[in-house]
Amino acid sequence: MCKHILNAQVSVRAPCCKKWFDCPQCHEDVSDHELGKTTEMVFACKKCKKVFRKDVGQFEESDEYCPNCDNHFIIEAKEPEGPKMMLQFEGATQDMLRDERERPRHQQQNAEIMSRLGFR
């Protein structure tokens, strides 16, 4: 599973070491060599689990789809959000940081809605 591209639709076989990766950064993270370059790419579709080849030198719009299951694998990448800032206070516990004021009101509203719909 790729930690760089969250919606990877295919894995790509690296031409240099013949190992499978979801993105170039994944190869870089675990390899001691540079990613080899080639015009013929070998893909494994994550939807149908079948392998296919594409010549990227002659790539057309129809080549953006898996030839076996028609899964669109050339899509805009969803990348993880940056690190979130956490505030910590000396001596604070989880109970001290949780705001419980809204919970009773929402529980009451949900109960009224369920009652009106005949679920209670």
**Residue 26 burial class via C-beta count within 10 angstroms: exposed 0-12, middle 13-18, buried 19 and up:** buried
Question: CA 70, CA 45: separation in Å to the nearest integer?
Answer: 10
Q: Which residues pair with 97 in a beta bridge?
A: none
> What pTM did the predictor assign?
0.61
- pLDDT tens for each residue of 59-89: 888 888 899 999 888 877 777 776 655 666 6
| Helices and strands (H, E) in the chain, number of each type | 3, 4
Q: Which of helix, strand or coil describes residue 24?
A: helix
- pLDDT tens for each residue of 30-55: 999 999 999 899 999 989 999 999 99
